[in-house]
């Protein structure tokens, strides 16, 4: 799947400041909006804005939140419709996963990943009943609307130096993509039931990254991505622990917002200048935001951080191993890349 390139320090030197400001504004909105799932409101704007590159492009900024809102509405309706019939529900979600992975493997573009992510979130929450689905739908729409407010503001305060907007360049996949999609849909369905068994619905944002390793089609890239998700989890957990520890010394909102800004600034600077793959840092900041929001609402901080590490380790590597094994047995894509997966991902090329 196509991966956004590393932000360029020459074209966008204020990227880190913009990222930190996004996190601070997202958290500042939580007391005002009083969401039922603050982890989504804290993490979604950060995740969407962190994925932007180069100049401010209104169409790209609008596309992410609008697509998330539309998908949340459709998935909430669909899950509520099929949820009373367990066997039909499981089969229907497999078809959703299959469609999403099929889009990813055939085109390499990101919309398929949105289908997969929303499918996991709503299917797992849907097992708790229609009321939980409605809450999740409303929280996604609220977070998307907040993103539409924050994004133009942070780009106005911290504009990119270049005036050229970024253009994605996904590459269509090859091989028997239907078989590859079926493998991933089956593994993800099993992972969804595991997430439901071990996690309350309010914490689902903290484990969703375990499912994202499956979007990368080659055997080596799957394991590489699992490792990067673990790096992101460790970085995000460490950031959350530091922010929470310092915040407890002076529990005031301005202090919390300042710490969140500094955490985002550090992540942004690592993305700009650290030679290691940048996506681990990009994924770490939304993870930290979700952990902090959850810990300050209903969770014990130590338990939240520990559960995220354990769940990501167990889910990500178990799913990666299953997919890699099935890929090897079926050999649906015999032309798997011989290039080191880290290099491919960090160049933002197709895997």
Q: Coil, strand, or helix at residue 260?
A: helix
Range of the domain at 154: 15-346
Task: Report the percent of the chain where pLDDT is more than 90.
Answer: 27
| Mean pLDDT computed over 91-108 | 88
Are 173 and 107 in contact by the 8 Å Cβ rule? The answer is yes
Of 170, 177, 183, which Cα lies nearest the Cα of 107? 170
For residues 171 and 14, which has the higher predicted lDDT (pLDDT)? 14
- Dump pLDDT digits (tens) for 8-21: 888 889 999 999 99
Phi, psi of 181 (to 5 degrees): -65, -40
Q: Supply the Cα-derived Rg of the chain in whole angstroms.
A: 19
pLDDT for 210 equals 60
pLDDT for 30 equals 92
Q: What's the mean per-residue pLDDT of the chain? A: 80
In a domain, 330, yes or no: yes
Of 303, 283, 285, which Cα lies nearest the Cα of 294? 303
Query: What's the structural domain count of the chain?
Result: 1
Question: Would you say residue 338 has pLDDT above 70?
Answer: no
Question: Would you say residue 47 has pLDDT above 70?
Answer: yes
* Lowest mean pLDDT across 17-21, 51-55, 173-177, 345-349: 345-349
In a domain, 10, yes or no: no
Are 94 and 113 in contact by the 8 Å Cβ rule? The answer is no
pLDDT for 300 equals 57
Of 235, 49, 9, which Cα lies nearest the Cα of 157? 49
**Buried-exposed string 106-116: b where 16+ CB fall within 10 A, e elsewhere:** bbbbbebbbbb
- Dump pLDDT digits (tens) for 123-138: 888 887 888 899 999 9
Cβ count near 264 (within 10 Å): 26
Phi, psi of 165 (to 5 degrees): -75, 155
* Lowest mean pLDDT across 17-26, 245-254, 323-332: 323-332
pLDDT for 340 equals 39
Task: Report the percent of the chain where pLDDT is more than 70.
Answer: 78
In a domain, 1, yes or no: no
Cβ count near 196 (within 10 Å): 17
Phi, psi of 197 (to 5 degrees): -70, -30
Question: Would you say residue 142 has pLDDT above 90?
Answer: yes
pLDDT for 130 equals 86
- Distance of alpha carbon 264 from alpha carbon 46, whole angstroms: 9
In a domain, 9, yes or no: no
- Distance of alpha carbon 224 from alpha carbon 241, whole angstroms: 26
| Mean pLDDT computed over 242-264 | 92
- Distance of alpha carbon 266 from alpha carbon 296, whole angstroms: 22
* Lowest mean pLDDT across 15-29, 144-158, 323-337: 323-337
| Mean pLDDT computed over 238-243 | 89
Structure-token pair, residue 271:
């993305």
Question: Would you say residue 25 has pLDDT above 60?
Answer: yes
**Buried-exposed string 138-157: b where 16+ CB fall within 10 A, e elsewhere:** bbbbbbbebbbebbeebbee
For residues 27 and 318, which has the higher predicted lDDT (pLDDT)? 27
In a domain, 302, yes or no: yes
Question: Would you say residue 339 has pLDDT above 50?
Answer: no
Phi, psi of 344 (to 5 degrees): -65, -45
pLDDT for 259 equals 95
Phi, psi of 171 (to 5 degrees): -115, 130
Structure-token pair, residue 28:
């500042």
pLDDT for 128 equals 78
């Amino acid at each position: 799947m196509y991966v956004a390139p590393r932000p360029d320090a020459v074209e966008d030197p204020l990227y880190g400041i913009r990222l930190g400001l996004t996190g601070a504004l997202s958290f500042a909105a939580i007391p005002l909006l009083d969401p039922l799932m603050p982890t989504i409101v804290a993490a979604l704007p950060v995740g969407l804005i962190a994925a932007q590159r180069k100049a401010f492009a209104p169409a790209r900024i609008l596309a992410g939140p609008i697509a998330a809102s539309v998908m949340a509405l459709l998935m909430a309706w669909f899950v509520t419709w099929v949820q009373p019939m367990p066997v039909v529900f499981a089969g229907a979600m497999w078809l959703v996963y299959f469609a999403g992975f099929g889009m990813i493997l055939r085109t390499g573009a990101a919309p398929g990943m949105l289908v997969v992510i929303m499918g996991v979130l709503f299917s797992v929450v849907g097992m708790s009943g229609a009321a939980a689905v409605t809450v999740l739908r409303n929280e996604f729409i609220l977070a998307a609307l907040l993103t539409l407010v924050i994004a133009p503001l942070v780009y106005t305060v911290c504009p990119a130096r270049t005036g050229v907007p970024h253009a994605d360049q996904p590459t269509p996949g090859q091989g028997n993509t239907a078989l590859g999609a079926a493998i991933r849909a089956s593994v993800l369905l099993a992972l969804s039931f595991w997430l439901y068994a071990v996690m309350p619905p309010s914490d689902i944002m903290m484990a969703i990254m375990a499912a994202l390793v499956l979007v990368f089609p080659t055997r080596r890239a799957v394991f590489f991505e699992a490792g990067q998700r673990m790096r992101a989890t460790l970085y995000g957990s460490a950031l959350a622990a530091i922010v929470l520890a310092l915040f407890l010394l002076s529990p005031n909102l301005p202090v919390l917002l300042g710490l969140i800004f500094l955490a985002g600034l550090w992540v942004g600077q690592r993305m700009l200048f650290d030679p290691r793959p940048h996506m681990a840092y990009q994924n770490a900041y939304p993870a930290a935001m979700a952990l902090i929001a959850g810990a300050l609402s209903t969770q014990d901080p130590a338990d939240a951080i520990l559960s995220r590490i354990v769940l990501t380790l167990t889910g990500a590597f178990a799913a990666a191993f299953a997919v890699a094994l099935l890929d090897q047995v079926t050999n649906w894509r015999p032309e798997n890349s011989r290039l080191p997966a880290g290099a491919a991902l960090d160049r933002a090329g197709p895997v």
